[in-house]
Amino acid sequence: MAAETLTHYRTCPLCEATCGLEIAHRDGEVIRIRGDRADVFSHGFICPKGSTLGKLDRDPDRVRRPLVRRDGQHEEASWDDAFALIEERLAPIIAEHGANSVAVYLGNPNVHSMSGVLYVKPFLKMLRSRSIFTAATVDQMPKHVSSGHMFGHPDLIPVPDIDRTDYLLMLGANPYESNGSLATAPDWPGRMEAIRDRGGKVVVVDPRLTRTAKAADEHVAIRPGGDAAFLFSLANVIFDEGLADLGGLTDHVEGVDELAMAVSGFTPETVSPACAIAADAIRRIARELAGAERAVVYGRIGTHTAEFGTLASWMVDALNAITGNLDSPGGAMFPLPAHEQSRSRRPFQTGRWATRVRKLGETRGELPVSALAEEILEPGEGRIRALVTIAGNPALSTPDSGRLEDALASLDFMVSLDVYLNETTRHADVVLPGSTPLRRPHYDFAFYGLAVRNVANYSPALFEPEDDSPDEWEVLLRLGATVSGQGHDADVRALDEAVFAMLVASGVGEPTSPIHGRDPEQIYAATDGDAGPERMLDYLIRTGPYGDGFGRDPEGLTLQRLREAPHGIDLGPLQPRLPDALCTPSGKADLAPAPLRADVDRLRSSLDATVNGGFLLIGRRHVRSNNSWMHNVDILMTGKDRCTLQINSEDAERLGVSTGGQVKVSSSAGTLVTSVEVTDDIMSGVVSLPHGWGHDTEEARLSVASSRAGVNSNLLSTGAMDPLSGNAVLNGIPVDVVPA
Ligand code: SF4
């Protein structure tokens, strides 16, 4: 008898939008995936990537068994043999050179998995290395640093309340392609259209006329890297013309006078050459922003991956505050996710330790990834000798890739946890297979904390793990035991008990927790599940703001309630949360933190810098791409070549190149040859190349990706960074372009 076709609902974990999926499956195979119309948040929206989860799961190139490199070749091995080798090779390195000689690189997919969010921390604790690098210093650390200084916690990030705003000023973001970032909202296009339908206005500031900009009321072309100067000037106009109005925030903020001082001198006329926006336009936008009843400024990757990324990020939130739009419906608001736990008030600090070579300070417990290559390559005491990568492909996705390739090849030992043998993991001595999204449960810890509406949705695993594969949380704990001297065959369940016991102890000891003072044994007994991330999820949901408090509110949320709601639970629109949400020692939001003000003179001086005659390189996103790692899914790789250098038609004519022709692009870091795409959708003097390409490495096992390899844009990015956050400068890299 033919097997029955069944329907499964789950949240797509591929990007930040958290769309609900409806998956038809039969006999362990996905038949069809479409958007879940009943999903409380996405209402049926889906992008091309979401429907390919089945293909990703079935990809024959995917790593399914541990791989061990012998004589330059990766061969399958048992889990026990792989872990035994990790122990044999890493233990002497740690014993001789210390834990800091083992670095960890965490890729972006870690925040899209429950195991990544809940079990990477215990692994890092067991490793005890300060050499931690993540994708956050590639694209978003400025937001964490400005939030840390302004609101007291690096993860306390206000998001644009796009469902209720009348005026959206968006910089450096292209949600029609990216589906949104640091602002979780399935169906950005529909939500943007709704702003216009209700009589509002959308203004997009970007060097390119992106799909998002085309859908807006107004596109303002800006010189790459000019965002901070533009934003400072908007604030300057608002103060200068007496338009500042804190709304209901007056008692909850400090630093208004210092903010006015910081932006003084940044008049529209002064900044206009730096951002290439006419002074009149800057003044008009400032007045529109201040005059709209409900307005919000939202800045994303283009504002963050710049020389003044943290100053730009600060000014986004400062503008929202001085126009009365911070913590106000239709403005920038703080989500309240179902798993949120209370946060303590203490000063936010950066620079508690630093890199060895350039003395670059840590931010949020991690070091700038732009410094990873030199920390491996530069000889001397304290050199990084081994690397653990978890769900990351820094060889393509981090700056100065040419140097990093050399660095990866020079390591004494490397271990990777990943779904592919890719451009990075090909260097690994041991590759441990990661799981695919359909074979693990999901609840979006990271992105419900950034969502434009409070929602909660839990998805159980659709399929069992393959063969004898352990779950990722078990792999991470076993890795932790291996690097901490507990042995690769340590009892993973006992380690998990210890991790969970610490979590419960923190709740029992926390005066504001609903389980304060309770007997931990009672809590263990009442928690849903006996191990792993689902048990932790039940605990966090029940002790969270909507939870049942383990009996305190019988109507409250539990994991079981989430299980019974496969389309999610709507917890309502965002609500004002100040001052309670603030974690600053003063209990107020600081609109002009001293560490940020200290960097303003650098911005002032940059306004006088002369522009050379070359081009400025920027990146770009495509809806069918997810950084580097969805390029092996055939259906997403069809159509015309996407890895092209976009160039303005006047510039192309001057250079004598046309669409399809080849050009040589050079920066101070490297050179590459790529094909040209002539368009008037980009400013003159600016060229654009997407990132995440360059799949031409023979040792990688990416048969689809390698057939349309493209070029690696990070061969051109340098080690330059925003000094406040350590974030890479990728927006506005000076390059020369000549016909090849
Ligand atoms: S927008 Fe993001 S979350 Fe939604 S289907 Fe596409 S990849 Fe998945």
Q: What is the pLDDT of residues 557-595, one digit of tens each?
A: 999 999 999 999 999 999 999 999 999 999 999 999 999
The CA dihedral of 570, 576, 579, 581, to the nearest 10 degrees, is 20
Contact 245, 583 (CB under 8 A): no
Provide the pLDDT for residue 467.
78
The CA dihedral of 412, 118, 701, 375, to the nearest 10 degrees, is -30
The residues, any chain, with a CB within 8 Å of residue 719's CB and separated by 6 or more, are: 370, 371, 373, 374, 399, 400, 669
Choose among 647, 639, 715: nearest CA to 675: 647
Q: Summarize pLDDT for 78-98 with one digit per residue, the tens.
A: 999 999 999 999 999 999 999
For residue 1, is pLDDT > 80? no
Least confident residue range of 9-13, 209-213, 355-359, 622-626? 622-626
Q: Summarize pLDDT for 181-223 with one digit per residue, the tens.
A: 999 999 999 999 999 999 999 999 999 999 999 999 999 999 9
Backbone angles phi, psi at 83, to 5 degrees: -70, -35
Q: Summarize pLDDT for 259-306 with one digit per residue, the tens.
A: 999 999 999 999 999 999 999 999 999 999 999 999 999 999 999 999
Overall average pLDDT of the 393-407 stretch: 93
Give the chain's count of helices (H) and strands (E). Answer: 27, 30
For residue 608, is pLDDT > 90? no
Contact 94, 124 (CB under 8 A): no
Overall average pLDDT of the 125-132 stretch: 98
For residue 684, is pLDDT > 90? yes
Length of the chain: 740
Provide the pLDDT for residue 262.
98
Overall average pLDDT of the 438-465 stretch: 97
Task: Point out the ligand 1 atom lying closest to the alpha carbon of residue 626.
Answer: 7
Distance (angstroms) between ligand 1 centre and the Cα of 624 equals: 10
Under the banding of pLDDT at 50, 70 and 90, the label for residue 421 is very high
Antiparallel, parallel or unpaired: β 453-456 and 569-573:
antiparallel
Atom 4 in ligand 1: residue holding the nearest Cα = 19
Task: Point out the ligand 1 atom lying closest to the alpha carbon of residue 18.
Answer: 3
Ligand 1 close to Cβ of residue 14 (< 6 A): yes
Under the banding of pLDDT at 50, 70 and 90, the label for residue 626 is confident
For residue 610, is pLDDT > 80? no
Provide the pLDDT for residue 3.
84
For residue 371, is pLDDT > 70? yes
Q: Summarize pLDDT for 226-243 with one digit per residue, the tens.
A: 999 999 999 999 999 999
Atom 5 in ligand 1: residue holding the nearest Cα = 50
Mutate to test the pocket of ligand 1, among 9, 18, 19 (most ligand atoms within 8 A of CB): 19
User: What does the block give as tokens for 264?
Assistant: 């003084």
For residue 2, is pLDDT > 80? no
The CA-atom distances, in angstroms, between 570 and each of 267, 554, 564 are 44, 18, 13
Provide the pLDDT for residue 726.
97
DSSP secondary-structure letter at 354? Answer: B
Ligand 1 close to Cβ of residue 395 (< 6 A): no
Provide the pLDDT for residue 719.
85
Provide the pLDDT for residue 629.
80
Overall average pLDDT of the 670-681 stretch: 97
Residue 392: alpha-carbon gap to chain centroid: 12
Under the banding of pLDDT at 50, 70 and 90, the label for residue 685 is very high
For residue 639, is pLDDT > 70? yes
Provide the pLDDT for residue 612.
65
Q: Summarize pLDDT for 643-653 with one digit per residue, the tens.
A: 999 999 999 99
- In degrees, rounded to 5, the angle at the alpha carbon of residue 556 between the alpha carbons of residues 554 and 559 is 110
Mutate to test the pocket of ligand 1, among 11, 15, 112 (most ligand atoms within 8 A of CB): 15
User: What does the block give as tokens for 257?
Assistant: 């006078």
Provide the pLDDT for residue 379.
96
The CA-atom distances, in angstroms, between 101 and each of 90, 169, 306, 355, 356 are 10, 45, 30, 12, 11
Distance (angstroms) between ligand 1 centre and the Cα of 593 equals: 36
pTM score above 0.85: yes
Under the banding of pLDDT at 50, 70 and 90, the label for residue 486 is very high
Provide the pLDDT for residue 35.
98
User: What does the block give as tokens for 546?
Assistant: 């909507």
Distance (angstroms) between ligand 1 centre and the Cα of 643 equals: 21
Backbone angles phi, psi at 327, to 5 degrees: 65, 30
Provide the pLDDT for residue 611.
60
Distance (angstroms) between ligand 1 centre and the Cα of 12 equals: 6
Task: Point out the ligand 1 atom lying closest to the alpha carbon of residue 48.
Answer: 6
Provide the pLDDT for residue 627.
80
Mutate to test the pocket of ligand 1, among 34, 179, 212, 442 (most ligand atoms within 8 A of CB): 179
Distance (angstroms) between ligand 1 centre and the Cα of 50 equals: 5
**Neighbour tally for 168: CB within 10 Å:** 26
Mutate to test the pocket of ligand 1, among 39, 49, 450, 624 (most ligand atoms within 8 A of CB): 49
For residue 383, is pLDDT > 90? yes
Residues of the chain above pLDDT 90, percent: 94
Choose among 484, 493, 422: nearest CA to 706: 422
Ligand 1 close to Cβ of residue 636 (< 6 A): no
Distance (angstroms) between ligand 1 centre and the Cα of 51 equals: 9
Overall average pLDDT of the 597-620 stretch: 89
Mean pLDDT for the chain overall: 96
Overall average pLDDT of the 114-122 stretch: 97
